[in-house]
């Protein structure tokens, strides 16, 4: 049998030679297959074990297989959430010499689930919203790099939960096109397809009794389009600030939080005309911020407090010249986080007179100082800094908060 394997990494062909390419994919013996949940596909798809790895194998025409393989490589190079391509196998034939369809092979995305598997138990409306938020984030990220999907749907997406965060990954790029930049019309076309497809898929779940009674498929499809529009505007609008711009970044983060998104990454690039801010969003679930803050800093806080502190840490991190995401030679995120605790968090708390610190827990105190700083900066149209914020907060707010350690005076008797 003669066939060709085109692979991105030199070690893959040896592993893939173990698989029975002379047999149609839907007839592969069980010893080669891995039982994992599969989504709906117009092609035959199987999960197989190649050496110590699990791969997804899809039978598809040669032109589409080669084209999709190239698109997935481009998306991975651009750091867009998508399955990672492994190889294309062409020239397949069965024992009688009859030609078999080529296959596209991708890495199995560990911990991911197709949407139908996630709906096997009825999901709460809030969780459905989180999945659609993740899909909106994925669409925005694709459009930002010039990728028009052409068939955005829940079926063509994999979802993964990581430390409370939902992330959506493109799993089918067959209809996609990568261009230097998308027009508004191209983006609108993609969003309309997504809106119709999502509504139809939710209707299908509704008909099968797998959808929560309060979830209206059409409304949720419309909500996806609305969330995309809000997020696209917030992420792509002009953001060049003068030197004194700290509180403006805080404004951006607050608006993103109001849209229901967390800040996954914040980048600040300095240029002659000011500082340009880029924000990368993600959708998160309850308790995520508490766990992340505790892991990074050792600080234990309530969820809203943790979110506030993490936003401040993210802004601090963006200013660190020795931190570069993805660069193994730069300072790690944990190192920067502990530096923030040592150089920012603790010194700020110590600025508060010792006798007043006990009036609230430390995380709440720092959060309120950040809030006060934002309030003063908005009022004065410029960042006032932490020291001044602490001084004003202590004089105008904290001194009027009762000390919980002092006994309450008896209420007057009428």
Q: Give per-residue pLDDT as tens, 342-383.
A: 999 999 999 999 989 888 889 999 999 999 999 999 898 888
Confidence category of residue 265, pLDDT binned at 50, 70, 90: low
Q: How far apart are CA 389 and CA 372, in angstroms?
A: 6
Last residue of a domain, one of 67, 88, 108: 108
Q: How far apart are CA 35 and CA 25, in angstroms?
A: 15
Give the residue, 182 or 404, on which the prediction is more confident: 182
Confidence category of residue 414, pLDDT binned at 50, 70, 90: very low
Q: How far apart are CA 275 and CA 267, in angstroms?
A: 10
CA angle 141, 43, 90 (to 5 degrees): 95
Q: How far apart are CA 87 and CA 105, in angstroms?
A: 5
Does 409 reside within a domain?
no
Whether residue 267 sits in one domain with residue 341: yes
User: What domain range includes position 86?
Assistant: 4-108
Does 387 reside within a domain?
yes
395 pLDDT above the threshold of 90:
yes
Whether residue 254 sits in one domain with residue 232: no
pLDDT digits (tens, 9 = 90+) for 145-202: 899 999 999 999 998 864 445 778 999 999 999 999 999 999 999 999 999 999 999 9
Query: What total number of domains does the chain contain?
Result: 3
Whether residue 169 sits in one domain with residue 35: no
Q: How far apart are CA 105 and CA 109, in angstroms?
A: 12
Does 412 reside within a domain?
no
Does 279 reside within a domain?
yes
């Amino acid at each position: 049998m003669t066939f060709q394997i085109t692979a991105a990494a030199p070690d893959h062909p040896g592993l893939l030679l173990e698989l029975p390419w002379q047999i149609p994919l839907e007839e592969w013996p069980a010893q080669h297959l891995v039982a994992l949940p599969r989504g709906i596909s117009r092609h035959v798809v199987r999960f197989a074990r190649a050496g110590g790895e699990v791969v997804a194998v899809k039978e598809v025409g040669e032109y589409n297989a080669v084209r999709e393989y190239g698109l997935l490589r481009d998306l991975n190079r651009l750091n867009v959430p998508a399955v990672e391509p492994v190889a294309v196998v062409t020239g397949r034939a069965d024992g009688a010499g009859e030609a078999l369809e080529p296959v596209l092979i991708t890495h199995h995305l560990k911990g991911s689930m197709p949407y139908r598997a996630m709906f096997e138990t009825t999901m709460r409306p809030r969780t459905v919203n989180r999945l659609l938020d993740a899909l909106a984030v994925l669409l925005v990220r694709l459009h930002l790099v010039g990728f028009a999907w052409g068939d955005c749907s829940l079926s063509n997406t994999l979802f993964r939960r990581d430390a409370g965060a939902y992330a959506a990954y493109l799993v089918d790029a067959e209809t996609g096109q990568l261009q230097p930049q998308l027009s508004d019309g191209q983006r609108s076309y993609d969003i309309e397809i997504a809106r119709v497809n999502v509504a139809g898929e939710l209707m299908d779940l509704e008909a099968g009794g797998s959808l929560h009674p309060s979830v209206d498929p059409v409304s949720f499809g419309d909500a996806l389009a609305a969330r995309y529009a809000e997020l696209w505007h917030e992420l792509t609008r002009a953001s060049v600030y003068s030197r004194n711009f700290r509180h403006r970044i805080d404004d951006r983060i607050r608006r993103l939080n109001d849209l229901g998104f967390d800040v996954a990454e914040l980048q600040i690039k300095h240029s002659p005309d000011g500082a340009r801010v880029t924000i990368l969003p993600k959708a998160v679930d309850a308790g995520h911020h508490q766990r992340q803050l505790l892991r990074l800093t050792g600080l234990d806080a309530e969820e809203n407090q943790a979110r506030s502190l993490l936003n401040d840490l993210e802004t601090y991190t963006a200013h660190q010249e020795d931190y570069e995401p993805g660069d193994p030679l730069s300072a790690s995120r944990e190192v920067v986080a502990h530096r923030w605790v040592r150089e920012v968090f603790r010194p700020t708390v110590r600025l508060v007179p010792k006798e007043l610190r006990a009036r609230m827990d430390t995380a709440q105190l720092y959060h309120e100082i950040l809030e006060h700083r934002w309030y003063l900066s908005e009022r004065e149209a410029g960042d006032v800094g932490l020291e001044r914020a602490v001084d004003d907060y202590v004089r105008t707010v904290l001194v009027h908060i009762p000390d919980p350690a002092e006994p309450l005076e008896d209420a007057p008797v009428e």
